[in-house]
């Protein structure tokens, strides 16, 4: 804990966002060679820099690594080079239980219009996660997941362009074994094993796994007990957010709010940033640019997505991105204009000297 605190005390106040380029619908499209979009990343990270952001939270994907680890790492190097030019040090995430359960490499599905994260992917895919939870994962699946974590950590273990690592985002989310409800503590076996794999490598950067924001008591406990710095999520109103922050600060361990900001729920930048700055807690809102992921639409839109998807409704390349009246997440349109200029001014008032 003292080592983590010493590390955190050396950092500037960390302010950033969860990032995927507007041209990618999911983690595969962001990272695979045929759709890796350096031009868009360069442009959008320039917008992040002008907002005063100095960090990003970025999701990786095991299938892209398994197809071509060398190429994957070359693209990570290119991404990190862009980040460094813009004064940004990213946090990378390995696993995630949120949203779509199946995945394949190659061309990715087109977005379903007006639906939140219509292409975001579980990592690993849910069938692999279920087998792992039941102790039935195939040897090649275990080797792939272990290699994905350990070889990536080894490759970048002393790279000061990397802020830190997060092993698992919101374990326990998504569909359960019967196709409904949360996966819950069925994820705990992989969460715990990911910690074993990571500690065997022991990178120079801190490691975390999601605590508050996970589903399942065991998943949350593993994150709280093992993390060098706590990663927690809060889309609650300011008074609830501050109580949660105080509870983590009281533990004496650094805490990072790795997801916040849903305007419909009252967790605006104007309400949240003063609390984060007061307590010097790092914060990552969800989303930078309202692109193919369409996270400027509410989570609740997902409930009707499959019906519309079955009807073949898609956003084709070049189609305008639809907008709700009040954006849920995200800050900029794909042309760089903001959802709300007053919001931009407010953010810069906290982040830019």
Asked whether the predicted pLDDT for residue 103 surpasses 90, the reply is yes
- List the domain range (segments joined by +) for residue 297: 2-351
pLDDT in tens, 161-176: 999 999 999 999 975 4
CB atoms within 10 A of CB 290: 24
Q: How confident is the model at residue 249 (pLDDT cuts 50, 70, 90)?
A: confident
In the numeric block, the tokens 């709700």 are attached to 324
Say how many C-beta atoms besides its own lie within 10 A of residue 246's C-beta: 11
Number of domains in the chain: 1
Q: Is the pLDDT assigned to residue 139 strictly greater than 60? A: yes
Q: What pLDDT is attached to residue 175?
A: 58
Which stretches of the chain are DSSP H helices?
2-9, 27-31, 38-50, 62-67, 69-85, 126-133, 139-156, 188-201, 217-226, 238-249, 269-279, 305-310, 341-351
Q: What residues contact residue 92 under an 8 Å CB cut-off, 6+ apart? A: 58, 59, 60, 152, 162, 165, 166
In whole angstroms, give the CA distance from residue 191 to residue 198.
Answer: 11
Q: Please, which pLDDT band fits residue 341 given cuts at 50, 70 and 90?
A: very high
Task: Give dist(CA 220, CA 45) in Å, integer.
Answer: 32
Three-state secondary structure call for residue 4: helix
Does residue 159 register a pLDDT over 60?
Answer: yes
- C-alpha to C-alpha distance for 212 and 231, rounded to whole angstroms: 7
Q: What are phi and psi of 287, to 5 degrees?
A: 95, 140
CATH label of the domain that carries residue 256: 3.20.20.80
Out of 119-123, 313-317, 330-334, pick the least confident. Answer: 313-317
Q: Work out the average pLDDT over 19-40.
A: 98
> CB of 3 within 8 A of CB of 14?
no
Lowest mean pLDDT among 42-51, 115-124, 250-259, 327-336: 250-259
Q: What is the mean pLDDT of residues 244-263?
A: 92
Give the pLDDT score at 302: 80
Percent of the chain residues topping a pLDDT of 70: 98
Q: What is the 3-state secondary structure (H, E, C) of 275-329?
A: HHHHHCCEEEEECCECCCCCCCCCHHHHHHHHHHHHCCCCCCCCCCCCCCCCCCC
Q: According to the model, what pLDDT value does residue 177 have?
A: 43
pLDDT of residue 179: 40
Q: Could you give the 3-state DSSP secondary structure of residue 10?
A: coil
DSSP class of residue 184 equals G
* Across 43-54, average pLDDT: 98
- What average pLDDT does the segment 154-159 reach? 98
| Torsion (CA) 6, 7, 8, 14 in degrees, nearest 10 | 160
Does a cis peptide bond (omega within 30 degrees of 0) precede residue 124?
A: yes
- Range in 49-58, 160-169, 180-189 with the lowest mean pLDDT: 180-189
Mean pLDDT of 137-161: 98
Residues 302-322: tens digit of each pLDDT:
877 777 777 788 999 999 999
User: What does the pLDDT read at residue 353?
Assistant: 83
Report angle CA 306, 210, 134 to the nearest 5 degrees: 65
b/e code 108-137 from CB counts within 10 Å (16+ = b): bebbbbbbbbbbbbbbbbbebbbebbeeeb
- Confidence at 181, pLDDT banded by 50, 70, 90: low
**Per-residue DSSP letter, 91:** E
d(CA 215, CA 206): 23
8 A C-beta contact, residue 222 and residue 195? yes
State both tokens at 329.
């997440």
């Amino acid at each position: 804990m003292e080592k983590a605190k010493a590390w955190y005390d050396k950092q500037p106040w960390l302010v950033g966002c969860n990032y995927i380029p507007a041209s990618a619908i999911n983690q595969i499209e962001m990272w695979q060679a045929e759709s890796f979009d350096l031009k868009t990343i360069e442009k959008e990270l320039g917008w992040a820099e002008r907002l005063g952001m100095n960090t990003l939270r970025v999701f990786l994907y095991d299938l892209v690594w398994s197809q071509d680890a060398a190429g994957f790492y070359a693209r990570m190097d290119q991404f990190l080079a862009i980040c460094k030019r813009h004064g940004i040090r990213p946090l990378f995430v390995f696993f995630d239980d949120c949203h779509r359960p199946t995945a394949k490499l190659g061309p990715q599905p087109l977005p379903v219009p007006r639906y939140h994260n219509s292409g975001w992917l579980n990592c690993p895919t849910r069938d692999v996660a279920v087998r792992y939870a039941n102790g039935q994962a195939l040897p090649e699946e275990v080797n792939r997941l272990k290699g994905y974590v350990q070889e990536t950590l080894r490759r970048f273990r002393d790279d000061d362009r990397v802020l830190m690592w997060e092993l698992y985002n919101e374990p326990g989310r998504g569909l359960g074994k019967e196709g409904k409800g949360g996966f819950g503590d069925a994820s705990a076996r992989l969460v715990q094993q990911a910690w074993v794999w990571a500690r065997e490598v022991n990178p120079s950067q801190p490691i975390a796994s999601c605590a508050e924001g996970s589903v399942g008591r065991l998943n949350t406990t593993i994150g709280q007990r093992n993390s060098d710095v706590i990663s927690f999520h809060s889309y609650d109103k300011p008074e609830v957010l501050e109580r949660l922050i105080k509870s983590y600060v009281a533990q004496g361990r650094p805490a990072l709010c790795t997801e916040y900001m849903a305007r419909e729920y009252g967790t605006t930048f104007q309400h949240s940033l003063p609390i984060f700055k007061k307590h010097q807690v790092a914060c990552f809102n969800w989303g930078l640019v309202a692109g193919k992921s369409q996270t400027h639409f509410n989570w609740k839109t997902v409930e009707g997505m499959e019906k519309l998807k079955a009807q073949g409704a898609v956003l084709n390349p070049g189609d305008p991105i639809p907008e709700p009246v009040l954006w849920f997440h995200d800050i900029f349109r794909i042309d760089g204009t903001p959802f709300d200029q007053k919001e931009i001014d407010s953010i810069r008032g906290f982040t830019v000297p």
